Amino acid sequence: MSVAHTVVTLLAAAMAGYSGTVVLTRADWIVKALTDYRVPRAWWNLLGAAKIAGAAGLLAGLFIPYVGLAAGIGLVLYFTGAAVTVARAHWYTHIPYPLVYAAPVIAALALT
């Protein structure tokens, strides 16, 4: 495992963990965004928990590579789905946001 892989994985886990925490704590700006994107309120806890689980999986992947691989794939699918959700809500200028969160996950997978 390289230093680059470790650093990028830590960054990806921190970003995914932060993103999940913001959803679970219902920060005003994320509540507005999720409402604007028409994401059902019943999904919010599951979505936040999925991001936090993905972050934990990335961290575990530093010691158990297959767990990190599964978590990375799951997060890439999650953030791809988020980009599609934003596009379906016609907020095209917001599409880069989930992609910014996906980028370090993709980089961590590439460095595996």
Q: Does position 112 have pLDDT exceeding 70, yes or no?
A: yes
pLDDT at 54: 98
Tell me the per-residue pLDDT of 63-91, one tens digit each, with 9 for 90 and over: 999 999 999 999 999 999 999 999 999 99
pLDDT at 6: 97
Tell me the per-residue pLDDT of 18-50, one tens digit each, with 9 for 90 and over: 999 999 999 999 999 999 999 999 999 999 999
Q: Give me the long-range contacts of 49-52 (CB less than 8 A, separation at least 24).
A: 49/20, 49/24, 50/20, 50/74, 50/78, 51/16, 51/17, 51/19, 51/20, 51/23, 51/75, 51/78, 52/16, 52/17, 52/20, 52/21, 52/24
Q: Does position 1 have pLDDT exceeding 80, yes or no?
A: no
